[in-house]
Amino acid sequence: MNASALSADQLTDLAIKRQEGRLTNQGVLVVETGKRTGRSPKDRFIVRDGETETNVHWNTTNQPMLPADFDYWYGQAKSHMQQHDCLSDTFQVGNQALGLCVQVHTEYAWHLLFAHNLFSQVNGEPSWQLINLPSLKPTKGLHGAVSDGLVMINFTQKCVLILGMRYAGEMKKAMFTVLNYLLPARDVLPMHCSANMGDDGQTALFFGLSGTGKTTLSMDASRQLIGDDEHGWSADAVFNFEGGCYAKCIHLDPKAEPVIYQALRPGAIMENVVIDEAGQPDFDDDRLTENTRAAYPRSFIDNCVPANAGPVPKHVIFLTCDMYGVLPPIAKLSAEQTLFYFLSGYTAKVGSTEVGGGKGIQPTFSTCFGAPFFPRDPMVYAQLLLKRVEAAGASVYLVNTGWHQGAYGQGGNRYAIAMTRQVVDQITSGQLDGCQWHQLPGFGFLMPSDAKLPCSPDPRADWVDQADYVQTANRLIEQLNQNFEQYDPSGQQAGRPQMLTKK
């Protein structure tokens, strides 16, 4: 069925008719995604052929699949669609000049609603296909399948095939991966970041993994949102890949995150959010997953940049949720440190977005702040970032949205989101441009000396036991350097932190 004429309300009604979900007391569609409540990276493959052989950075994330295996599953998918009442529509991913026109085929009405909310509708000739068939479950061990779910990307045939998966985020991230492969060849940096713009017309970027505050901090009532997750940075602009947002809902607070809360209206989708018999959501209930989600279009946010794009940024912010409590609330990075921390992608997993990620807080390193989505050699993206930062004259900051006063579980407290907002506001408003800076020993980056921050700019001042701080900081420094050996085996890369000595 061609569903291009179906509105969000009609797709919601169709999903209810097909018993794919329930409505909240406010008329928002709520669905459950089964045993997979996050992405399944071990089930994602890229077809290895003449196009990708030397262009993809093959590893445990970018796993190869034989063209013949893809062809088998593609044949199974075409046969499955002929026997089931599937839906289709055409969307734009990325902007008109530097994006893709994609024909999306889905088995579930709510999956097409997800595409309707996250991508932009367009009346164009599609160059790519995205096929999502949850009830077509692969057999483990058959034609490259390692479980009963598969995500396959074929750059030669220009097709994404998703089988046996109900978690809608696989659709979004598969298309993100496609653009991340294609755009560097066009001198465009693809980024796992959010972006907003102030009244002064200046753009700010927020890099970070899920749980670091990327979506929350970019949705600032005093600034206009460009996008909350995926962007491209060309020589003259930053543009959003998407037409909507995919926000985490766990512990959603209408006071702390009013923009997200107010976007939960009819037409939106909530994944794995628990609701009672009366349809009242409980955003604190994580019995299904900590990775509860809401998908809604940008039109549900009042304060958006209409063009879905902005000028090149003046402020680039790396968000890191430091579970060790040794990083400052804000640090200014040199070019060498920008390269180091971009490739390191250090943060803590807070409610994993991946299958098997588990609950609780754990440190992680994710290249380019989004390793699972970048098919090319990481240095391709890092060098392009440095090129863009230098050309724009942008300042790069590391902002800690994690712990201070001690480590997680050892007396430390997490920075309140309201306080981090004040720190970010000082960056984006230019209040830090004229302040004095001093160096943090060991890490080597600069902290503001005379800024009026809502917290101590020096993390050492928050620790009662300075010897404990040194020991904990050295633990993180050692992990950072060990992780970076994959990019710099000689250990000579400038920007690396140095071990502290006890006084």
Neighbouring C-alpha atoms within 13 Å toward the C-beta of 179: 29
Task: Give a yes or no: residue 458 inside a domain.
Answer: yes
Q: What are phi and psi of 232, to 5 degrees?
A: -120, 145
Provide the annotated active-site residues: 39, 173, 192, 210, 214-215, 229, 293
Average of per-residue pLDDT across 377-396: 97
- Which one of 273, 300, 327 terminates a domain? 300
CATH of the domain at 329: 3.90.228.20
- Written as six digits, the tokens of 340 are 């180091």
Q: What is the pLDDT at residue 3?
A: 56
CA–CA dist 484, 475 (Å, integer):
14
Predicted local confidence at residue 351, as pLDDT: 54
Residue range 318-334, pLDDT digits in tens: 999 999 999 999 999 99
Whether 214 and 361 share a structural domain:
yes
What is the pLDDT at residue 354?
A: 47
| Residues 250, 231 share a domain | no
**Domain-located, residue 36:** no
Which residues lie across from 103 on neighbouring strands? 90, 129
353 and 367 co-located in one domain: yes
Report yes or no on 193 lying in a domain.
Answer: yes
38 in a structural domain: no
Q: What is the pLDDT of residue 2?
A: 61
- Specify whether 388 is located in the same domain as 352: yes
Could you tell me where the beta strands, DSSP code E, fall in 69-158? 87-93, 100-106, 120-121, 128-133, 150-154
Residue type, 29: L
For residue 487, pLDDT beyond 80: yes
Asked whether residue 259 falls in the same domain as residue 338, the answer is no
Closest CA to 478 of 449, 441, 443: 443
Instruction: Note the pLDDT tens digit of each residue in 71-129.
Output: 999 999 999 999 999 999 999 999 878 889 999 999 999 999 999 999 988 888 999 99
281 and 211 together in one domain: no
Give per-residue pLDDT as tens, 280-312.
Answer: 999 999 999 999 999 999 999 988 999 999 999
My answer on whether 336 and 412 are in the same domain is yes
The verdict on residue 226 lying in a domain is: yes
Tell me: the pLDDT tens digits for 3-15?
567 999 999 999 9
Last residue of a domain, one of 281, 300, 319: 300
Residue 213 pLDDT level (bands cut at 50, 70, 90): confident
16-29: pLDDT as tens digits: 999 999 999 999 99
Write down which residue in 139, 161, 186 finishes a domain.
Answer: 186
In a domain, 286, yes or no: yes
- Closest by CA to 297, choosing from 225, 357, 198, is 225
Residues 217 and 338 in one domain: yes
What pLDDT was estimated at residue 121? 81
Residue 401 CA to residue 421 CA, distance in Å, equals 10
Q: Which of 140-149, 180-189, 248-257 has the lowest mean pLDDT?
A: 248-257
What does the angle CA 381 – CA 352 – CA 382 come to, to the nearest 5 degrees?
A: 10
- For residues 83 and 94, state if they share a domain: yes
Q: What is the pTM of this model?
A: 0.93
Please report, in angstroms and rounded to a whole number, the separation of the first and last CA atoms in the chain. 72
Do 496 and 334 touch, CB atoms closer than 8 A?
A: no
Q: Report pLDDT digits (tens) over 337-351.
A: 999 999 999 998 775
Q: Is residue 503 part of a domain?
A: no
- Give the contacts of 323 (CB within 8 A, at least 6 positions apart): 348, 361, 362, 363, 402, 403, 407, 408
- Quote the number of domains for the chain: 3
For 311-394, list the strands marked E by DSSP: 315-320, 330-333, 346-350, 361-365
22: Cβ–Cβ under 8 A, 6 or more apart, which residues?
Answer: 16, 29, 30, 275, 279
Residue 178 has pLDDT above 90, yes or no: yes
| C-beta contacts of 480-488 below 8 A and 24+ residues apart | 480/340, 480/344, 480/346, 480/365, 483/344, 483/346, 483/365, 484/340, 484/343, 484/344, 487/343, 487/378, 487/379
Mark whether 334 and 480 lie in a shared domain.
Answer: yes
Strand pairing category for 87-93 and 63-65: unpaired
Domain containing 252 equals 244-300
Same domain, residue pair 389 and 271: no
The answer to whether position 249 is within a domain reads yes
The CATH number given to whatever domain includes residue 294 is 2.170.8.10
Q: Let me know whether 324 and 450 are in one domain.
A: yes
